[in-house]
Amino acid sequence: MQFLISKNNEINIIKGIGIISVVIGHLYAGWVFRFVYAYHLPLFFFLSGYLFNKNKYKGKISWYIGRRITSLWTRYMPYVLIIGLMHNWLVAVGIYGSEMQYWKINDFLNFIYNAALFECSDPLLGACWFILPLISGSALLGGVIYLQEKSNMKIWSMVSVAVFSFLGLQRFKTGFVLPFRLDVGMVVLPFFYIGYLCRENSDLLSEKGVFKKRYIFAMALSLLLLITFSENNTTSLGAQSVQFPMLYIMAILGIYCAVFFAKTLNEKYQIIGGLISIIGEQSFSIMAVHFTIFKIVDLLCFKYAITDGTELQRLPYSNDNLKIVYFILAISVPVIINSAIARVKEYVRERYY
């Protein structure tokens, strides 16, 4: 069976496009902000649904949910530990304001305990809020697929997705935040399910599938830009600020463009595609640390009188003239560090094992 996205390289390119869009969205305002916020997180939810292996987890939904939580937890906690250990230094150098106190050992331990339950309020880890809807959305998808398999009727899974998304949108209207950001998980469940359907209908992303049509890509991108420029409403899932049905229309258009772009890069522009694929492999690390990198850049600029010290506490960054620097370092530093760590591990494994 030929899957829609046939190569891991293409999946990593899509992740790369997604994380690049996330960093851009945290640096730029106006139409650029509205454009990337329309699709950047839905793209990751789409990929999560696409990567759901029905055969592997058939009848084992609880195992699937457990594996999902474990995978995210083990990647998340090292960054929590690093930021926790840096806390007093961040207060001392002025990156954290006067409202942030120096920690004693019990404060540090409380921070770790809360973070272990994905309840982390540290501002430098703010971008990791998406982990909770990623977990809750994955759990809902597993339940929907289980229902579909039991009833042997796809229509019931579609109805379930529609009902959950409706309930989530109602929670958004009332401003009610559910545990594990289940409110967001319900709203974004359609993106998980669309990804899953794409995997089940492999012809869509085959060589002659719908995701290979240039005229559809041109129309999708044009429509997405048109809506972006004509609408002043910004999609912010974390803040429960969305407009129905534009949330789904713009996200689907953006997902289509990202998948088309990834396939084109992988096939015709392999050097660029390879670089973006490497970035995509480190998408979680970039998501976790890019705020921290922004502020370290600000601190260095403050030391050399480039940035006003009174602006040092501003998040996510302090100097509007350094956006290109923030972007390049936020992307490259995690890639370089993780690549170096991987090489060291490989050397040790070959040398001593």
Task: Dump pLDDT digits (tens) for 1-60.
Answer: 334 444 678 999 999 999 999 999 999 999 999 999 999 999 999 999 999 887 777 767
Question: Could you tell me if residue 95 is inside a domain?
Answer: yes
Residue 202's domain comprises: 8-288
Question: Could you tell me if residue 110 is inside a domain?
Answer: yes
Question: Could you tell me if residue 254 is inside a domain?
Answer: yes
Model pLDDT, residue 98? 76
Model pLDDT, residue 18? 97
With a cut of 70, which residues of the chain have pLDDT below it? 1-7, 59, 202-211, 305-310
Phi and psi of 152, rounded to 5°?
Answer: 60, 30
Tell which residue, 173, 171, 165, has the closest CA to residue 190.
165
Model pLDDT, residue 230? 86
Condensed to tens digits (0 to 9), the pLDDT of residues 299-310 reads: 998 887 666 666
Per the CB < 8 A criterion, the answer to whether 168 and 237 are in contact is no
Question: Could you tell me if residue 322 is inside a domain?
Answer: no
Model pLDDT, residue 110? 95
> How many domains does the chain fold into?
1
Total number of residues shown for the chain? 353
Model pLDDT, residue 20? 98
Model pLDDT, residue 150? 80
Question: Could you tell me if residue 326 is inside a domain?
Answer: no
Phi and psi of 83, rounded to 5°?
Answer: -65, -40
Question: Could you tell me if residue 222 is inside a domain?
Answer: yes
Please count the other Cβ atoms lying within 10 Å of the Cβ belonging to residue 238. Answer: 15
| Residues 118, 121: Cα–Cα separation, whole Å | 9
Question: Could you tell me if residue 112 is inside a domain?
Answer: yes
Q: Burial of 143 by CB count in 10 Å (0-12 exposed, 13-18 middle, 19+ buried)?
A: middle
Model pLDDT, residue 35? 95
Whole-prediction pTM value? Answer: 0.92
Model pLDDT, residue 148? 84
Question: Could you tell me if residue 340 is inside a domain?
Answer: no
